[in-house]
């Protein structure tokens, strides 16, 4: 049975698009048929991160308005044959997306894919609302930082009240994904700890993605980090998170770079 997953956060720039691409590719590599859907109308980026920007012909809004068929808008990944992208419109106004249009497209995608992963725009407005509206599960992307945690809390409130599941008296299954985690700063007590974040948000943890240059490198070449450098720390953390989404239980590891005591001293002196 298909699962609709929204990747959301409230706060902008925390890693939603990066996570959508990485989780989508990892789930596809594990054998699922996956579509990643860009809901960031007017500011699309998922096509770029997926390396498909030059292949976009039709987009989500074209499909909701009946200008194009779903099959015409879907772009198949060049590396993984069971990974697809439904891009957002770059030119259209974000009001062009309607609740009814989204409902129909999601229902259609459910019949064709195992995983429908919706990359939400930042904010708590209509666009973010529509991205989560038909979700079964939610990945709440959170950075270890006060404003991000506060926004995640608001998004959790929306997931519990504004989704179709919530309106039916059911619950969207929620997961917190902590990204851009810097273990050395955490060790120094400069960053909210994982335990603090989980206690405050009272939501189970899906994974911890370290701050890493590999993410930037992956975006430069237009590949999900799980594909561009599968052995890297963020790729391994995303792959584990994807397997947890599939229901496997995998021990949680806090990604740490091995920094010697001496280096830490020198690092502190330089700071």
Partner 1 sequence: MTMNLWRLFSSRKGSAPVARERLQILLAHERGLRSQPDLLGKLREEILSVISRHVSLDPDKVVVKMDRGKSVSTLEVDIELPNGLEGPIAAAAS
Nearer to partner 1 by Cβ, of 61 and 158: the residue is 158
Residue-wise burial string across 13-49, b where 16 or more C-beta atoms lie within 10 A, e elsewhere: ebbbbbbbbbbbbbbbbbebbbbbbbbbbbebbbbbb
Nearer to partner 1 by Cβ, of 18 and 148: the residue is 148
Give the bridge partners for 7, in sequence order.
119, 139
**Per-residue string for binding with partner 1, 193-222, x by CB under 8 A?**
x--x---x----------------------
Backbone CA torsion sign across 36, 176, 171, 98: negative
**Helical segments of the chain, H only:** 16-29, 46-49, 60-64, 70-73, 99-112, 126-133, 146-159, 164-167, 183-187, 194-201, 213-221, 225-228, 233-245, 261-270
CB of 43 to ligand ATP, least distance (A): 7
Binding at 189: pick from ligand ATP, Mg ion, partner 1, none (beta carbon under 5-8 Å per type): partner 1
- Interface residue with Mg ion, options 16, 94, 175, 236 (CB under 5 A): 16
Residues between 56 and 95 that touch ligand ATP (CB under 6 A): none
Residue 169 in the binding site for partner 1 (CB under 8 A):
no
CB of 247 to ligand ATP, least distance (A): 24
Q: Which residue has the tokens 């700071």?
A: 271
Size of the site for ligand ATP (CB under 6 A): 20
**CA–CA separation, 206 vs 201, rounded Å?**
13
CB of 94 to ligand ATP, least distance (A): 13
Residues forming contacts to ligand ATP in the complex (CB under 6 A) are: 9, 12-18, 40, 45, 122, 179-180, 209, 211-212, 215-216, 219, 234
State the residues that interact with Mg ion by CB under 5 A: 16-17
């Amino acid at each position: 049975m298909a699962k609709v997953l929204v990747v959301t956060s409230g706060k902008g720039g925390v890693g939603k698009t990066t996570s959508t691409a990485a989780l989508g590719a990892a789930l596809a590599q594990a054998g699922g048929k996956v579509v990643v859907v860009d809901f960031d109308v007017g500011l699309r980026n998922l096509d770029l991160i997926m390396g498909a920007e030059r292949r976009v012909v039709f987009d989500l809004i074209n499909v909701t308005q009946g200008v194009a068929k779903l099959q015409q808008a879907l772009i198949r990944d060049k590396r993984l044959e069971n990974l697809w992208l439904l891009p957002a419109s770059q030119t259209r106004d974000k009001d062009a997306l309607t609740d009814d249009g989204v409902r129909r497209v999601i229902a259609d995608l459910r019949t064709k894919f195992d995983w429908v992963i919706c990359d939400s725009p930042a904010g708590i407005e209509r666009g973010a609302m529509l991205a989560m509206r038909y979700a079964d599960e939610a990945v709440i992307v959170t950075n270890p930082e006060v404003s991000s945690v506060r926004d995640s809390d608001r998004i959790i409130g929306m997931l519990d009240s504004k989704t179709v599941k919530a309106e039916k008296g059911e619950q969207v299954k929620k997961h917190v994904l902590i990204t851009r985690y810097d273990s050395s700063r955490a060790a120094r007590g400069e960053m909210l700890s994982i335990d603090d974040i989980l206690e405050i948000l009272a939501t189970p943890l899906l994974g911890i993605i370290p701050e890493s240059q590999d993410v930037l490198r992956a975006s430069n070449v237009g590949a999900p980090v799980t594909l561009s450098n599968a052995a890297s720390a963020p790729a391994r953390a995303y792959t584990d998170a994807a397997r947890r989404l599939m229901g496997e239980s995998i021990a949680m590891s806090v990604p740490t770079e091995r920094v010697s005591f001496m280096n830490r001293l020198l690092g502190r002196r330089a700071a």
